[in-house]
């Protein structure tokens, strides 16, 4: 097949199987990875997707043909790939995954030593540029790399549980939605022998994703999860995307919480244990996190949206934590990486030690910091629209271009509008101090932006 360079995105590789990404492309990507990164060892795993095993084996064939040794860690969550590379000291790692994309997609997330990300500006484009010629003329190293296998889960479980005091956990029931990924099984194994009862939804791994796109960030994908919570009245609910590098929470009475509010809750909980630390926040929504971090004695630091920017900022500032509004939670002590399991465990601990419900912890945040949720519009000229918005709101208290355009009017209302790093979209987020004002400004902005939903 002809190589389609568009499968190389800002942070990873994603394409439709088998029209854009097949075994031939996977093998060439493995060879290009070795040529560019020059690793001696590469840890390789895959998520639940039906095409995963084929691409996994082809990738490994390319890596070993180019001379790298491969440690096969099998079916995993992406966070376990990050753990294995950093914890065991491997030179690099690749997870075969397309994250929350529909089942016909697959791809690769790549890291260097220490699980430092490989993204567009740190090697991914160079790997892309090597792939086409390696498809035409594959290389064979003088000494082919060796293959070994490792079960990383026992060490991962011990490590992830070390973040909380398990002796303080009180009996709780949690509704979970693994969206047919492996995380339902992993969560049960992490929590076995602890006083937590899981009422699981879509926990049986199925890489065809029979209920559609495995992404709790999409509002229409939340209904089944919320309905189960309302029916069962657990202590709270947690949902993961297919590769479990994101987590989303709901209160015990079925209120789905924007990740923004969880960012503030988790930041305060972490700062209570490690006061005075720095916390990174993305510019989509800000006030709740700024206030929570400041009240807890921490230092809030803004950052552009996107995993590579956030991981770079975490390292640069040696920051404790970042919660991204898309549901990624990054921790310095988890190798500056995102994990969907750790925020879940921290909430279990927080509810146990405070005696509060998640609804009580979130209540003031929901009423004080009102947000629109991310709204996407397909438009013909996003740059021109952003310039029009900048001119329209030139009288704003704050005009910031850290990430495209952020406009603020004191603590009354604000918005951020930016182009997507992974899709041809304009993304809008609005925050205000009341529901009425948020809705009015949201509708005003959407009328100015136009485009298609």
In 3D, which of 311, 345, 302, 323 has the Cα closest to residue 109? 311
3-class SS of residue 228: helix
Measured between alpha carbons, how far is 137 from 28 in angstroms, rounded to an integer? 9
3-state helix, strand, coil in the chain (%, to 5): 40, 25, 35
pLDDT tens-digit profile, the chain (453 residues): 789 999 999 899 999 999 999 999 999 999 999 999 999 999 999 999 999 999 999 999 999 999 999 999 999 999 999 999 999 999 999 999 999 999 999 999 999 999 999 998 899 999 999 998 999 899 889 999 999 999 999 999 999 999 999 999 999 999 999 999 999 999 999 999 999 999 999 999 999 999 999 999 888 899 999 999 999 999 999 999 999 999 999 999 999 999 999 999 999 999 999 999 999 999 999 999 999 999 999 999 999 998 999 999 999 999 999 999 999 999 999 999 999 999 999 999 999 999 999 999 999 999 999 999 999 999 988 999 999 999 999 999 999 999 999 999 999 999 999 997 666 789 999 999 999 999 999 999 999 999 998
Measured between alpha carbons, how far is 308 from 323 in angstroms, rounded to an integer? 14
Measured between alpha carbons, how far is 181 from 366 in angstroms, rounded to an integer? 30
Q: Tally helices (H) and strands (E) across the chain.
A: 14, 22
CB-based burial label for 162 (10 Å; 0-12, 13-18, 19+) = exposed
Measured between alpha carbons, how far is 46 from 285 in angstroms, rounded to an integer? 33
Tell me the torsion sign for CA atoms 447, 449, 452, 453: negative
Measured between alpha carbons, how far is 85 from 71 in angstroms, rounded to an integer? 10
Q: Report residue 34 CA to chain centroid gap.
A: 26
In 3D, which of 232, 420, 247, 450 has the Cα closest to residue 347? 247
- List the Cα angle 170/171/176 in 5-degree steps: 115
Measured between alpha carbons, how far is 150 from 340 in angstroms, rounded to an integer? 22
CB-based burial label for 407 (10 Å; 0-12, 13-18, 19+) = buried
Measured between alpha carbons, how far is 420 from 417 in angstroms, rounded to an integer? 10
Q: Tell me the per-residue pLDDT of 186-196, one tens digit each, with 9 for 90 and over.
A: 999 999 999 99
In 341-390, the DSSP E strands lie at 370-371, 375-377
| CA distances (Å), origin 227, targets 97, 224, 259, 317, 408 | 29, 5, 19, 41, 36
What amino acid positions are annotated as catalytic residues? 99
Q: Tell me the per-residue pLDDT of 249-263, one tens digit each, with 9 for 90 and over.
A: 999 999 999 999 999
């Amino acid at each position: 097949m002809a190589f389609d360079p568009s499968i190389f995105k800002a942070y990873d590789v994603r394409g439709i199987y088998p029209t854009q990404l097949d075994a031939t492309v996977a093998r060439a990507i493995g060879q290009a990875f070795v040529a560019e990164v020059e690793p001696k060892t590469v840890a390789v795993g895959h998520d639940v997707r039906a095409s995963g095993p084929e691409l996994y084996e082809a990738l490994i064939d390319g890596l070993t043909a180019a001379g790298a040794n491969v440690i096969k860690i099998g079916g995993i969550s992406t966070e376990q790939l990050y753990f294995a590379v950093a914890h065991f000291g491997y030179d690099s790692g690749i997870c075969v995954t397309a994250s929350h994309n529909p089942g016909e997609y697959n791809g690769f997330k790549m890291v260097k030593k220490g699980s430092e990300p490989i993204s567009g500006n740190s090697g991914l484009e160079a790997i892309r540029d090597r792939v086409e010629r390696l498809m035409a003329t594959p290389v064979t190293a003088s000494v082919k790399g060796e293959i070994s296998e490792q079960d990383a889960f026992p060490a991962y479980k011990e490590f992830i549980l070390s973040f909380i005091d398990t002796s303080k956990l009180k009996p709780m029931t949690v509704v979970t939605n693994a969206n047919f990924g492996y995380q339902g099984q992993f969560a049960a194994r992490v929590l076995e022998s602890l006083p937590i009862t899981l009422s699981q939804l879509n926990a049986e791994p199925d890489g065809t994703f029979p209920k559609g796109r495995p992404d709790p960030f999409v509002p229409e994908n939340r209904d089944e999860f919320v309905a189960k919570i309302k029916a069962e009245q657990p202590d709270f609910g947690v949902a993961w995307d297919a590769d479990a590098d994101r987590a989303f929470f709901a209160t015990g009475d079925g209120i789905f919480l924007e990740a923004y509010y969880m960012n503030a809750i988790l930041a305060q909980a972490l700062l209570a244990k490690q006061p005075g630390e720095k916390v990174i926040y993305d510019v989509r929504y800000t006030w709740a996190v700024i206030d929570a971090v400041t009240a807890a004695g921490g230092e809030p630091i803004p950052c552009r949206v996107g995993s590579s920017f956030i991981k770079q900022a975490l390292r640069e500032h040696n920051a404790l934590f970042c919660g991204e509004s898309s549901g990624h939670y990054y921790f310095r002590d988890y190798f500056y990486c995102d994990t969907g399991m750790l925020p879940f465990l921290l909430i279990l601990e927080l509810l146990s030690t405070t005696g509060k419900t998640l609804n009580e912890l979130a209540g003031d945040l929901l009423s004080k910091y009102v947000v629109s949720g991310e709204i996407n519009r397909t438009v013909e000229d996003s740059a021109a629209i952003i310039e029009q918005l900048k001119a329209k709101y030139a009288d704003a208290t704050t005009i910031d271009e850290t990430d495209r355009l952020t406009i603020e009017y004191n603590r009354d209302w604000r918005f951020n509008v930016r182009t997507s790093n992974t899709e041809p979209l304009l993304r809008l987020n609005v925050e205000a101090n009341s529901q009425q004002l948020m809705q009015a400004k949201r509708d005003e902005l959407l009328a100015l932006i136009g485009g298609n939903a």
